[in-house]
A = this chain, B = another copy of it.
Amino acid sequence: MPLVTLLTDFGLRDPFVGEMKGVLHALVPGLHTVDVSHGVERGNVREGAWILGKSWSVFPPGTCHLAVVDPGVGSERRAVVAAAAGHLFVGPDNGLLAPALRDAGAAEVREIAVRELDRVRRGTTFDGRDVFAPAAARLAAGRAVAEFGPEVHDPVPLAPFDPRPEPPGWSVEVVRVDVFGNVVTAAEESFLRAELGEEWRRARVRAGQEWLHGLCVAYDDVPEGEPMLSIGGSGTLEVSVSRGSAAERLGLRAGDRVLVAGPEV
C-alpha cells in the first residue's frame, strides 16, 4: 500500500495538487496520498525545508515524500530522488530536502536523468506534475533510486538552522509563524537541555521588546492575551499568546531572531 506525502507552495485553489495526484494514481493504482501542507509561502524554500525536516519521520518507513517548492522550475537546476532511513524523497535540488536528509542520515541522492515514463510534457513550468510526481510514483512502487540517474555528491545545501552564540545566550532564528500566530523558533528542546541542564525549563527569551521567563505546558497557563513560552509540536521553542497571536503581539515574523538565555542568576 504505497504512501506518498505532498508538500508544496501551490495552495489548494488551483488544480495543481489534484493533477499531481492524478499522475500518481494513474501510475500506481490504489496508492494513498497525504497532504503535509500546500501552504508554504510562495517560493520559500527555507520554510518548506523546515516543515519537511520536521514532518517526514512521523510517517511510516517506505513513505515517499514529494516536495515541490521550486522557484527555479524550468531552469537547469537538477531534479533529485533520495533514499534515507527507509524513506524516499523527491524534489528539486535547491536545499528543500537538505534538513530532512540530514535528519535521516546517510542519504543516497540521485539525479532524475531517466524520464522514459514521463507524461508528454505540455508546458515547461509544471515539473510537479510532469517530473516529480511520476518519479514519486515509481519510487513508491519500488523502483530503486539508483535507477533514476547518476549519484549527486554535491546537493545544494541550506544554511543550517542552528542557534548562534550571542551573550548572554544564543541568537535563534524564527522559522515560521503558524496559523494561530505561534512563533516557531529553531531552538530544539534537546539544545536547551544540553546547554542549560536541569534548569532548561526556566529559560528566558527576549522576543521583540519583551523578556519572557520560563516554559509553560498549556496555553491556559497564562492569562488570555499574555505571551508564553512552550515546546511546540515540532519539538522546538515556541512563543505563543494565550488565545491570541504572538506574531502580532510581539511583531515577529519568519527570518527574525530571538535571544534565548538561561535563567537570571
Binding site for B on A (CB under 8 A): 1, 3, 5, 7, 10-19, 21-23, 25-26, 29-30, 32-39, 42-43, 51, 54-55, 58-60, 63, 71-75, 119, 122-126, 129-130, 178-180, 189, 216-221, 230-235, 238, 240, 243
Contacts and interface: CB of A to CB of B under 8 A. Distances in A.
Contacts of A178: 13-14, 16
A16 B45 CA distance: 19
A20 to B, nearest CB: 9
Interface class of chain A by DSSP = loop
Contacts of A230: 74, 123-125
Given A13-B37, A22-B55, A122-B231, 20 more contacts: A1-B30, A5-B22, A10-B179, A12-B37, A12-B38, A14-B37, A15-B36, A15-B55, A16-B178, A18-B55, A19-B36, A29-B60, A30-B32, A42-B180, A71-B219, A74-B220, A75-B220, A123-B232, A123-B234, A130-B233
Given A22-B59, A32-B30, A232-B126, A15 B1 contact: no
Contact of A233 (B35, B122, B189): B122
Contact of A124 (B14, B30, B119, B217): B217
Contact of A36 (B18, B60, B125): B18
Contacts of A234: 122-123
A38 B39 CA distance: 14
A217 B74 contact: yes
